[in-house]
């Protein structure tokens, strides 16, 4: 039975840098990846990163520090993030950005920036590539592929980690595997690292951990939560399931599928496109100030809507005159959606729109009347909205159904500052480590979304852990 220094489960945002650094340092490694390709969620991620004190910030006269990064993360998360791990992530983030830049990262010219897709930082410290996550892959893949040609490294694609192997003292000593043909094998290792990602592709697991909430997601089907399952079987602690909050918002691909159209997301960020529409729940009532500067406020308001679902309501004139609500959609795609998708509804009257959408007719009638009346009288909007370019007609009405979506899953394995997986007593499980989304999206963002606090820590923790484990004596 083969024995290696490090078994790395997952070849994504965290697993690839672990492998690159550990192999370069001379450790013998095997990377296990259940998919038929490396890269994980970077294939679909926007690839937003954050880091303080970078060379790019300095070149643009931006004064920043890891301490300020931590302070912003604590403010945005309302002190619900894991401060020791956020501090570690912030300390490593700047050098990680600099490393990517030194490798030729194709950074967007707007960076570093303050990004309003999440609650905003006070300082310009968010970065992304021109091709989103694929820009990061263009840096990692050649380095990873080169590492896999070395005699001390190997990659097994299409191979699933089934369970962890422990010795008599409970220490992890390896992993049981199953390949695409169903053949079982075992791999012994001095250290096992779980870099398996989250559980956004596992609706049953998501609903179990999130009080029965239905999953709407563009996550990869390989995001099964298997790393969490294997570690829990050894008594590992799972943290932060209670910190779920939805991303605002997306459109379902097919009715009832739970899959969200990800190629062309709706433009619901007021700082980018001030809204012309109103947002209503199933009761026909508006539930949030549509042009609120705070995406956190909009996400929290959505939490109280049944099914995390709402409708954007507008009319033919708004469709014609407003900036595109669905930028990137072709005319053919829009025509098909309006003709056949149950998420796209057209009606001649409010009553017909209510019937076709299932929205309460009385509530919708009163809402549109109240919105229009305030505009006509020149009075403040009942919800405090500032951007009101026009009233909503009572004929030629349109509605698009939106859902709160899941891009990263909140719950994850408890780890200490050395990224050792902890059991339910807070004791490290010997030889078992974790990095990336498997430690939980809420670990570094708390009950909120902190810009760049997913991809960057996965890369940074991965690089650190690869070096750290390679330096440990056999």
Q: Name the band, by pLDDT with cuts 50, 70 and 90, for residue 445.
A: very high
Q: Name the band, by pLDDT with cuts 50, 70 and 90, for residue 379.
A: very high
* 94 and 34 part of one domain: yes
Pairwise pLDDT comparison (65 vs 328), residue with the higher score: 65
Residue 474 predicted with pLDDT over 80 = no
> Could you tell me the CATH number of the domain that includes residue 400?
3.90.700.10
* 60 and 185 part of one domain: yes
Q: What is the pLDDT at residue 263?
A: 79
Q: What is the pLDDT at residue 406?
A: 94
* 54 and 189 part of one domain: yes
* 386 and 432 part of one domain: no
Q: What is the pLDDT at residue 117?
A: 85
340 part of a folded domain: yes
* 331 and 191 part of one domain: no
Nearest to 408 by CA among 219, 261, 243: 219
Of 357, 389, 405, the position where a domain reaches its end is 405
* 398 and 415 part of one domain: no
* 182 and 281 part of one domain: no
State what percent of residues in the chain have pLDDT above 90: 95
Residue 376 predicted with pLDDT over 80 = yes
State what percent of residues in the chain have pLDDT above 70: 99
Of 405, 435, 460, the position where a domain reaches its end is 405
* 301 and 224 part of one domain: no
Residue range 326-330: average pLDDT?
Answer: 93
Domain residues for the domain of 341 are 249-405
Q: Name the band, by pLDDT with cuts 50, 70 and 90, for residue 2.
A: low
Across the chain, mean pLDDT equals 96
* 109 and 224 part of one domain: yes
> Could you tell me the CATH number of the domain that includes residue 413?
3.50.50.60
Q: What is the pLDDT at residue 441?
A: 96
Domain count for the chain: 2
Q: What is the pLDDT at residue 69?
A: 98
* 389 and 424 part of one domain: no
pLDDT (tens digit, 9 = 90+) per residue, 282-297?
999 999 999 999 999 9
244 part of a folded domain: no
Model pTM?
0.94
149 part of a folded domain: yes
* 35 and 178 part of one domain: yes
30 part of a folded domain: yes
Residue range 171-183: average pLDDT?
Answer: 96
* 216 and 319 part of one domain: no
Of 386, 405, 424, the position where a domain reaches its end is 405
Q: What is the pLDDT at residue 1?
A: 53
């Amino acid at each position: 039975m083969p024995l290696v220094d490090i078994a790395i489960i997952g070849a994504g945002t965290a697993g690839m840098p672990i492998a690159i650094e550990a192999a370069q340092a001379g450790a013998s490694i095997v990377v296990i990846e259940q998919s038929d390709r490396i890269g994980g969620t970077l294939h679909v991620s926007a690839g937003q990163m954050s880091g303080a004190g970078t060379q790019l910030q300095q070149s643009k006269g931006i004064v920043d520090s890891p301490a300020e990064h931590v302070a912003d993360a604590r403010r945005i998360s309302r002190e619900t993030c894991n401060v020791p791990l956020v501090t570690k992530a912030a300390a490593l983030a700047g050098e990680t950005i600099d490393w990517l830049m030194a490798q030729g990262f194709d950074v967007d010219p707007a960076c570093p920036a303050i990004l309003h897709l999440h609650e905003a930082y006070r300082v310009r410290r968010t970065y992304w590539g021109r091709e989103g996550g694929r820009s990061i892959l263009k840096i990692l893949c050649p380095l990873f592929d080169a590492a896999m040609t070395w005699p001390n490294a190997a990659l097994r694609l299409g191979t699933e980690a089934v369970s962890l192997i422990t010795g008599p003292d409970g220490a992890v000593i390896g992993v049981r595997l199953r390949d695409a043909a169903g053949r079982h094998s075992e791999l012994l290792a001095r250290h096992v690292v779980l870099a398996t990602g989250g559980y956004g592709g596992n609706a049953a697991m998501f609903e179990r951990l999130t009080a029965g909430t239905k999953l709407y997601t563009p996550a990869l089907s390989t995001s099964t939560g298997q790393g969490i399952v294997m570690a829990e079987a050894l008594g590992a602690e799972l943290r932060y399931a209670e910190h779920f909050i939805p991303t605002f918002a997306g459109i379902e691909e097919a009715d009832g599928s739970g899959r969200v159209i990800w190629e062309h997301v709706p433009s619901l960020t007021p700082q980018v496109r001030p809204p012309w529409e109103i947002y209503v729940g199933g009761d026909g009532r508006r539930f949030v100030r549509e042009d609120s500067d705070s995406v956190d406020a909009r996400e929290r308001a959505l939490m109280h809507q049944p099914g995390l679902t709402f409708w954007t309501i507008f009319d033919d004139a708004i469709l014609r005159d407003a900036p595109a609500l669905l930028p990137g959609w072709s005319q053919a795609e829009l025509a098909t959606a309006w003709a056949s998708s149950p998420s796209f509804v057209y009606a001649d009257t409010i009553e017909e729109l209510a019937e076709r959408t299932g929205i309460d007719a009385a509530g919708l009638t009163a809402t549109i009347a109240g919105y229009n009346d305030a505009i006509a009288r020149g009075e403040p909007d009942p919800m405090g909205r500032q951007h009101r370019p026009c009233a909503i007609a009572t004929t030629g009405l349109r509605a698009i159904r939106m859902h709160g979506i899941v891009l990263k899953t909140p719950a994850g394995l408890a780890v200490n500052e050395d990224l050792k997986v902890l059991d339910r007593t807070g004791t490290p499980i010997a030889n078992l480590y974790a990095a990336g989304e498997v430690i939980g999206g809420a670990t570094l963002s708390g009950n909120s979304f902190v810009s760049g606090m997913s991809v960057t820590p996965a890369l940074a923790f991965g690089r650190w852990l690869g070096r750290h484990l390679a330096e440990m004596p056999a």
